[in-house]
Amino acid sequence: MSMDIEILEDDRHHRYVLNMGPQHPSTHGVLRVLLELEGEYAMNLLPVLGYGHRCHEKIAEYKPVKSFMPNTARMDYLGALIYNHGYAQLLEKATGVEVPERAEYIRVITSELNRIQSHLLWYGAYLLDLGAFTPIMYAFDDREHILDILEDVTGSRLTYCYFRVGGVCKDIDDKFVTSTRAFISRLRSRFPMYEDLVNGNVILQNRLNDVGDLNPHTCARYGITGPLLRGTGVGYDLRRAEPYSIYPKFDFEIPTATKGDCMASFLVRFQEMEQSLRIIEQALDGLPEGPVMAAKVPKKLKIPAGDYNSSVEAPRGELSYYLVSDGSDVPYRLKVRTPSYSNLSVIPEMCQGMLLSDVVSAMGALDLVIPEIDR
Amino acid sequence: MELFYSLLPELIRMVVCAVCGAVIVFGNALVMGYAERKLAGHIMYRPGPMEVGFHGILQLVIDGLKLMGKQLVIPKNADKPLFMLAPLLAFAPVFVPMLVIPFSDKIQGFDLDVGLLLILAFASINVLAILIGGWSSNNKYSLFGAIRSVAQNVAYEIPMLISLLAIVFMTNTFSLKEIAAAQSPVWFVVIQPLAFLIYIVAMVAETNRAPFDLPEAESELTAGFHTEYSGMSFSLFVLGEYANMFIVCSVATVFFLGGSSGIPLPYFEYTGIVWFLLKVYALMFFLVWIRWTYPRTRFDQLMNFCWKYLIPFSLVNLLLTVVLVKLI
């Protein structure tokens, strides 16, 4: 903490330090931000991390690769299936296990449901940050349907461990298909309501427009990806930029906005939900028959010596796993590149000179999931 | 002794008025506390309180008991006397305006010539309470809330007063009873729609309710000025807030919605209170409704809105009213 005191000192030019977090309603978890304030203007910001660190990367070096799958879900509890997906894909790349087509379809459907669920939670929580209490209940109402659908097939509601090396652990049934289709039409019918009630609201527009400006250059310097980057006009989405799984088969758009402020990323995330629905619809239509697990996956999965990398598009941006193997079934090193960590690092630059209320809305626009930062 | 007997009816009247004022304050807090939670629940697709009594109707009683039983935590470095004084100061002044509100033609504590001034004067003590509470808590979030509250309340009192002044010019009196009586053919909301709109906006800001709830902005300031308060001292702030809501809505009813006028009922001098309360609670419902619908404004936008739009428009409205009154 000595560093904090050096950088941020009380009574320097009539400034004083406000300690936001680790228990604060709008830091969504155990993030702590020190703000050096002048009046209500934040002149300096310093995020302090590490309150929720659980050494996931180190744990990976001590157990067989296959048994690390549940840990991936605990890193980002909102995009658990997508984290599963990245990890399963990494091991498949390393060992050359072929995934049956039906399993890939199921992976895409469930991952996209997971992405919508994550965006819905962000939508509610962000508006809560902005002082609107009601939308979170509406968003949770919709999100509940996804959780029910995924619970039926995966057995859990939040920290899924559904994907396996070579496929998924359980096949989907007719009930899954019908309830997913019902959910698609339900959420579609709810979008106009959200737009009327929230997105067009003049108070919301005033709170979000021209707040937290980012540009592609800043994003490149900090490694910002995901909806924030797409909000600056760069249509970079790994599902298109470096296609993985069976995403090339589907027809969907990458929503972008040009202004780079909070409103831009707000709209990008909102439109992404519709695109995810489109992907799910196409995947349900083209769902092939067949097995959901590869026939021969060894019990003890030995990774040939070498370096392996796998990247997927998580709800908050680019997620990468980097694995170094010495030829055994335990990784020598596993590095996870999580999107929120890079996105968070822009806070000091993005929020400098902002009002306290704008710091809250800018931080909300980053859609931070703290366990993913402190993994 | 003779003096005592001559004063006795007046004394009894004073006691009865004070008791009735207290009944209204607490009764209103009970009704609004329950109604707000229930309405918020239904706006949010959830039932609200359901467990205690039929549809949770006794929830507020239980909550009151809980709050009374709670320990009063005083922060270590707080300014103790002021910290204790603030909730009392927020709550005590709300009884006085109850005395001059004309609930019906005959139900009114005292018909003062300066009724409006009395209400506005006592309603503004609330700001002082918030400032003292925020300052003495010795917490940066509380201080933020307090500062915001003072700036906001001082700014919004101006358009509030000016919009009411337009009515005062038309009726030539500060007495609430006479103002209510002056609206027998048409309510002033028809004649003065702009003043009504301005008053409604200022009213929301005056009572620190969402979307102008910046002094207690939860996501920014945790709980604003009452961050450090717990138990009964916290609930006194809440009681004060509900009583203030009742007062500003009553003023709106008296000034713009014809007071207790309505479809005549038997013994209308007394039963007019039904219409009066109906109008007051309709306005209160409106306050609750917008609270649970809109996001919060930003502080600079709030102040700009007041100084750039509300005050100029209310001044123009006042000027036009004065000119028209002079011509007619």
Give the mutation candidate from A34, A128, A130, A359 for the B interface (greatest B CB count, under 10 A).
A130
Question: What is the pLDDT at residue A118?
Answer: 92
Task: Report if residue A116 sits inside a domain.
Answer: yes
All residues of chain B having their beta carbon less than 8 Å from the beta carbon of residue A193 are none
Helix (H, G, I), strand (E, B) or coil at A16: strand
- The H or E element spanning position A314 is strand A306-314
CA distance B46 to chain A (A): 8
pLDDT in tens, A71-84: 888 888 888 899 99
Among partner residues A24, A40, A203, which is closest to B211 by beta-carbon distance? A203
Helix, strand and coil in chain B, % to nearest 5? 75, 0, 25
Task: Report if residue B97 sits inside a domain.
Answer: yes
Which residues, in sequence order, are bridge partners of residue A47?
A: A33
At A313, the amino acid letter reads E
* Tally of CB atoms within 10 A around B126: 25
All residues of chain B having their beta carbon less than 8 Å from the beta carbon of residue A32 are none
**Residue A234's closest CA among A213, A246, A220?**
A220
Residue of chain B whose Cα is closest to the Cα of A203: B297
Residue B38 scores a pLDDT above 70 = yes
Measure the CA dihedral A291/A293/A297/A303, to 10°: 140
Contact B299 A357 (CB under 8 A): yes
Section B306-327 average pLDDT: 88
Among partner residues B40, B295, B300, which is closest to A203 by beta-carbon distance? B295
Supply the range of the domain harboring residue A166: 56-339
- The H or E element spanning position A17 is strand A16-20
CB pairs under 8 A between A and B: 73
Question: What is the pLDDT at residue A5?
Answer: 46
pLDDT in tens, A171-216: 888 889 999 999 999 999 988 888 888 888 888 888 888 888 888 8
Task: Report if residue A367 sits inside a domain.
Answer: no
Residue of chain B whose Cα is closest to the Cα of A358: B298
Give the mutation candidate from A15, A133, A356, A368 for the B interface (greatest B CB count, under 10 A).
A133
Contact B219 A203 (CB under 8 A): no
Task: Report if residue B31 sits inside a domain.
Answer: no
Question: What is the pLDDT at residue A287?
Answer: 87
Residue of chain B whose Cα is closest to the Cα of A38: B144
Q: Who contacts B228 (Cβ-Cβ below 8 Å, separation ≥6)?
A: B73, B75, B78, B83, B137, B138, B139, B142
Contact A16 B140 (CB under 8 A): yes
Which residues, in sequence order, are bridge partners of residue A20?
A: A33
- The H or E element spanning position B177 is helix B176-181
Question: What is the pLDDT at residue A1?
Answer: 38
Which residues, in sequence order, are bridge partners of residue A15?
A: A12
Residue of chain A whose Cα is closest to the Cα of B141: A18
Task: Report if residue A78 sits inside a domain.
Answer: yes
Q: Lay out the sheet containing A306-314: strands in order across.
A: A306-314, A317-325, A333-337
Contact A357 B140 (CB under 8 A): no
All residues of chain B having their beta carbon less than 8 Å from the beta carbon of residue A133 are 40, 44, 210, 292
At A332, the amino acid letter reads Y
pTM comes to: 0.86
Task: In whole angstroms, give the CA distance from residue B5 to residue A364.
Answer: 69
Q: Which two tokens stand for residue B140?
A: 């940066």
Q: How many domains does chain A have?
A: 1
Give the residues of chain A that fall short of pLDDT 50. Answer: 1-6
The CA-CA-CA angle for residues B32, B36, B42, to 5°, reads: 145
Give the mutation candidate from B208, B220, B291, B300 for the A interface (greatest A CB count, under 10 A).
B220
Task: Report if residue A365 sits inside a domain.
Answer: no
Residue with tokens 């509406």: A138
Q: What is the CA radius of gyration of chain A?
A: 21
Counting residues of chain B whose pLDDT is more than 70, the rounded percentage is 99
Among partner residues B144, B219, B292, which is closest to A360 by beta-carbon distance? B219
Task: Report if residue A45 sits inside a domain.
Answer: no
Q: Which two tokens stand for residue B264?
A: 């005549």
Supply the range of the domain harboring residue B99: 75-327
Among partner residues A18, A203, A357, which is closest to B294 by beta-carbon distance? A203
Identify whether the C-beta of residue A180 lies closer than 8 Å to the C-beta of residue A152: no
All residues of chain B having their beta carbon less than 8 Å from the beta carbon of residue A141 are 45
All residues of chain B having their beta carbon less than 8 Å from the beta carbon of residue A27 are none
Question: What is the pLDDT at residue B3?
Answer: 77
**What residues in chain A have their Cβ under 8 A from chain B's Cβ atoms?**
16, 18, 24-26, 40, 127-134, 137-138, 141, 197, 201, 203-204, 206-207, 355-358, 360
Task: Report if residue B119 sits inside a domain.
Answer: yes
**What residues in chain B have their Cβ under 8 A from chain A's Cβ atoms?**
40, 43-46, 140-141, 144, 210-211, 213, 217-220, 222, 292-301
Residue of chain B whose Cα is closest to the Cα of A21: B222
All residues of chain A having their beta carbon less than 8 Å from the beta carbon of residue B46 are 137
DSSP for residue B226: G
Contact B44 A137 (CB under 8 A): yes
The CA-CA-CA angle for residues A259, A265, A266, to 5°, reads: 120
All residues of chain A having their beta carbon less than 8 Å from the beta carbon of residue B144 are 40, 356
pLDDT in tens, B235-265: 888 888 888 889 999 999 988 888 787 777 7
Identify whether the C-beta of residue A75 lies closer than 8 Å to the C-beta of residue A371: yes
- The H or E element spanning position B132 is helix B125-136
Contact B140 A201 (CB under 8 A): no
CA distance B26 to chain A (A): 27
Contact A24 B222 (CB under 8 A): yes
Question: What is the pLDDT at residue A12?
Answer: 55
Within chain A, where are the H helices? Answer: 2-7, 56-60, 69-75, 80-95, 101-129, 135-154, 174-194, 202-208, 216-222, 227-230, 238-241, 262-285, 339-344, 347-350, 356-365, 370-373
Among partner residues B210, B222, B300, which is closest to A131 by beta-carbon distance? B210
- ipTM above threshold 0.85: no
Section B22-42 average pLDDT: 88
Task: Report if residue B27 sits inside a domain.
Answer: no
Residue B317 scores a pLDDT above 50 = yes
- For β-strands A163-164 and A167-168, DSSP reports them as antiparallel
pLDDT in tens, A115-144: 999 999 999 888 888 888 888 889 998 999
Task: Report if residue A36 sits inside a domain.
Answer: no
Question: What is the pLDDT at residue A195?
Answer: 87
| Burial category of B54 from C-beta neighbours within 10 Å (exposed 0-12, middle 13-18, buried 19 and up) | exposed
Among partner residues B40, B219, B294, which is closest to A26 by beta-carbon distance? B219
Section B275-294 average pLDDT: 88
Task: Report if residue B42 sits inside a domain.
Answer: no
Question: What is the pLDDT at residue A179?
Answer: 92
Q: How many domains does chain B have?
A: 1
* Tally of CB atoms within 10 A around A46: 16
Task: Report if residue B29 sits inside a domain.
Answer: no
Task: Report if residue B191 sits inside a domain.
Answer: yes
pLDDT in tens, B51-80: 887 888 888 888 888 888 888 888 888 888
The upper half-sphere exposure of residue B110, i.e. CA atoms within 13 Å in the direction of its Cβ, equals 19
CA distance B298 to chain A (A): 7
Query: What CATH number is attached to the domain comprising A193?
Result: 1.10.645.10
Contact B44 A132 (CB under 8 A): no
Counting residues of chain B whose pLDDT is more than 90, the rounded percentage is 2
Task: Report if residue A103 sits inside a domain.
Answer: yes
Phi, psi of A351 (to 5 degrees): -95, 5
Residue of chain B whose Cα is closest to the Cα of A200: B294
Task: Report if residue B45 sits inside a domain.
Answer: no
Contact A357 B213 (CB under 8 A): no
Task: Report if residue A22 sits inside a domain.
Answer: no
Among partner residues B140, B213, B301, which is closest to A206 by beta-carbon distance? B301
**Residue A73's closest CA among A365, A332, A319?**
A319
